[in-house]
Structure 1
Amino acid sequence: MKMQNFKYEGSGLNRFFGPLEAKIMEILWNNAEEMTIKDVQQKLDKEAKANNFNTVMTVMNRLVDKGVLQKKAVARSSQYKPVVTREAFMETQSKELTLDLIEEFGSLAVTHMVDALDKVDPGLLDQLEQKIKEMKKDR
C-alpha cells in the first residue's frame, strides 16, 4: 500500500496522514485488539479535546478506503484494526519513498543519502558498506 500524499514538512506519521488520522492510527496500533469508533473516540477524548463521533467515523472510514484499516461488521457496530503493524507500515513507506527518489533523481538521490548518513549517524555508513558487500556476494 503506497500512500499518495507525502508531506516533507511533517514528521513521523504526520508525513503520511492528517493530524486526526495519525492519532487514530497510533491508538489502533497501540491497542492489541480491534476497536469500535466509540472506543477510538473515547481514547481521543482522553488525550485532547472532544472529537465528534461522526468526524471520527468519517476519518476511520477514509482510512479503510486508503487501505490502512480493516473494517468488520460485528452485531450492530463495526470493528476496526490496522492492516499492518506500525513497523511494517513505516518500512513499506520508507522503501516506496526511497524508490521514488531514486527513480526521479537517480544517482543524485543516492549521493545525498550517503552524505546524510555520515551527518546523521556515522555507524550507518558501516551498515551500508556491509549491505553492499552482501548484495555483491549474492550476485
Structure 2
Amino acid sequence: MRIHNFKVGERGLNRFFGPLEAKIMDILWTRPGSSIREVQTALEQDKDVNFNTVMTVMNRLVDKELLRKSQKGRTSLYHPVQSREEFMNDQSKELSHELVDEFGALALNHMLDALDEADAGLIERLEQKIKQWKKDSD
C-alpha cells in the first residue's frame, strides 16, 4: 500500500494522512472493529466532529485500502488492513527506496549523517545488517 502524499514538515501519522484521517487511523489501530459512531465518540474528546464527516473519511480510507469494512447486523465495523507497525515499516521502506532511487549516494550520506543523533543500539543493528548484506553478496 503506497501513500502518495508524504509531508516532510509534519510529524508522526500526519506525514501520511490528513489530520482527521490520522486521528481515525490511530483510534482504529487502538480499537480495531469499531463502528463509525464509536470512532466519532472517541473523536469528540478533541473537538466536535459530525457523524457524516467521520463516515465519509472512514469510507475514503476503505477506498484507499487502508481500512476494510465488515458488517455486524446493520452496523459497519472498520478494521485496519495493516497494524501500525506494518504500515510504518512499509512506508519507511518505500520512502527509503524512493530517496535512494532519486538521490543515490547523496541520500545515503545524509542518512549516515543522521546517525550522529542515533543511539548506540541502532548503530549496532545497522552494522550487523551491513555485515549480513556483505556475507550474502559474497
Amino acid at match of 1:23: K
Amino acid at match of 1:82: P
CA deviation digits over 1:32-61, x for unaligned, max 9?
Answer: x4011011001111x211110000000001
Q: How far did 1:63 drift? A: 0.6
> Residues of 2 paired with 1:74 and 1:128: CA distance?
46
Amino acid at match of 1:24: I
Instruction: State the number of aligned residues.
Output: 137
Give the CA RMSD over aligned residues: 1.2
1:88 to 86, 90, 107: 86
Amino acid at match of 1:121: D
* Identical-residue share of aligned pairs (%): 59
Contact preservation (8 Å) 1:114, 1:125? no
Q: TM-score, normalised by structure 1?
A: 0.93
Structure 2 residue runs of 5 or longer lacking an equivalent are: none
Residue of structure 2 equivalent to 1:38: 37
Residue of structure 2 equivalent to 1:28: 28
Contact preservation (8 Å) 1:24, 1:60? yes
Residue of structure 2 equivalent to 1:10: 10
Judge which range, 75-84 or 16-25, deviates more.
Answer: 75-84
Q: Spell out structure 1 runs of 4+ moving beyond 2 A.
A: 119-127
| SS of corresponding position for 1:71 | strand
> Residues of 1 paired with 2:61 and 2:50: CA distance?
17
Q: Does 1:109 align with 2:113?
A: no
> Residues of 2 paired with 1:79 and 1:119: CA distance?
42
> Residues of 2 paired with 1:76 and 1:61: CA distance?
16
Contact preservation (8 Å) 1:118, 1:125? no
Residue of structure 1 equivalent to 2:129: 131
> Residues of 1 paired with 2:96 and 2:113: CA distance?
15
Q: How far did 1:122 drift? A: 4.5
| SS of corresponding position for 1:41 | helix
Structure 1 residue runs of 5 or longer lacking an equivalent are: none
